Amino acid sequence: MPGQNPVFIPGPTNIPDRLRRAMNVQTADHRSPGFAALLGPLLIDLKTVFKTASGQVFLFPASGTGGWEAAIANTLSPGDKVLAARYGTFSDRWIELCRRHGMDVEAIECDWGTGAPAERFGARLDADRRREIKAVLVTHNETATGVRSDVAAVRRAMDVCGHPAMLFADCVSSLASMDFRMDEWGVDVAVTGSQKGFMLATGMAIVGVSRKALEAAGTAGCARSFFDFGEMAAANAAGGFPYTPPLQLMHGLRKSLDMLFEEGLDNVFARHRRVAEGVRQAVHAWGLDLCARSPDLYSDTVSAIRVPEGFDAEALTDHIRETYAVSFGVGLGPLAGKVFRIGHLGAMTDVMALSGIAAVEMAMADLGYPVETGSGIRAAQEYYRRTARPALRAAA
């Protein structure tokens, strides 16, 4: 039956039926009191997911890339110096976006498979005696490599040298799936999207903004209109939007937040850790390596897996899709053909993960990989059996 198999790409993720139904609503007047009643609680509850008490959350009809642009355009001016590290496709794209806006970006080159280099950030910031660097960019979860960076360590490095730069975090593939602490980690702008941990369709950039970043918006010199924090804040305060909002997605977001809170955020994070560890157990049983260099870097939302020498990862993902009707993530940038990616975030369970592992094993057997069929499944099954908890009845 077409369309029955889950996807194992790192996003967009599988949409639960409950959320699909929630988004199936008729057009309504977004200038009515009913819209204000929807919007206000959404913005408050999103602060709980970002873990910010003092920050403000904005919703823009866009993908996460629009959230990147909103972060830059509202807080910086052309010519401002920005410090970033390049350790994957998405950290690279954010750097390029800044340069297109006229920022002077200093990029620290890192091996792909490593994370944000907190010590190197700290050394560079300490050497910035004139305090010219205005912002530091960190990709919390680099989707291309399956690497989670230590944002708190970057903040500590900034604080040690007393540097006043703002800290921006891309948490597109981590928020609502892995723990993220905006206030505790001193993040000034955090960017995510609707299509990953929130389990919705693509189309809504969700941006957490600190008071410091809001103040910076008052003097920032970049042109902005659609992504203007000030206009959005004023409209939201009055219960509205400065233009037509993504109403259906907002209804879906309401139900998504309800689902996350019903499960409990800590339980959501634990579920992702458990599902991810089962996938990692399978990878190790296959005798393959993750792109992430060490366990402290392992992502709980996506695993990037290196194929053996002489094999083409794209041929593998093509074969799985064409033969078994299941989609997995391809390698990006310099990793194209060298890795494939298993997305295990959002509405993902151990049983779903097992189906993905089995599909990969069948395809590898078809293509002559030096992998014992069933080895990954057994390893994941044993881990999931050891760590199983009584199933909770799913909400209708």
Residues 235 and 337 in one domain: no
pLDDT (tens digit, 9 = 90+) per residue, 216-266? 999 999 999 999 999 999 999 999 999 999 999 999 999 999 999 999 999
In the chain, the percentage of residues whose pLDDT exceeds 90 is 97
Whether residues 290 and 173 fall in one domain: no
Cβ atoms 73, 191 nearer than 8 A: no
What integer pLDDT is reported at residue 389 of this predicted model? 82
Query: Torsions phi, psi of 239, nearest 5?
Result: 85, 20
What pLDDT is attached to residue 396? 38
Helix axes 350-366, 313-324, angle to 10 degrees: 110
Q: What is the pTM of this model?
A: 0.96
| Residue 3: per-residue pLDDT | 67
For residue 390, whether the previous peptide bond is cis, meaning omega lies within 30 degrees of 0, is no
Terminal Cα-to-Cα distance of the chain (whole angstroms): 23
**The pLDDT of residue 47 is above 70:** yes
* CATH number reported for the structural domain that contains residue 365 in this entry: 3.90.1150.10
Q: What is the pLDDT of residue 393?
A: 45
Residues 163 and 277 in one domain: no
Region 347-360: mean pLDDT is: 98
Q: How far is the C-alpha of 121 from the C-alpha of 127, rounded, in Å?
A: 10
Q: Give the domain CATH number at 53.
A: 3.40.640.10
> In whole angstroms, what is the distance from residue 109 CA to residue 83 CA?
11
Q: What is the pLDDT of residue 328?
A: 98
Do 242 and 169 sit in the same domain of this protein?
A: yes
- The answer to whether residue 93 sits within a structural domain is yes
Q: What is residue 390's predicted lDDT score, i.e. its pLDDT?
A: 72
pLDDT of 4: 83
Same domain, 314 and 251: no
Same-domain status, 326 and 377: yes
Instruction: Please give the tally of structural domains in the chain.
Output: 2
The range of the structural domain enclosing residue 316 comes to 265-386
pLDDT given at position 391: 61
Q: How far apart are CA 57 and CA 44, in angstroms?
A: 8
Q: Is residue 8 part of a domain?
A: no
Are 57 and 152 members of one domain? yes
Mark whether 321 and 174 lie in a shared domain.
no
pLDDT tens, 219-230? 999 999 999 999
CB-based burial, 348-378: b 16+ in 10 Å, e otherwise: bbbebbbbbbbbbbbbbeeeebebeeebbbe
pLDDT at 33 over 70: yes
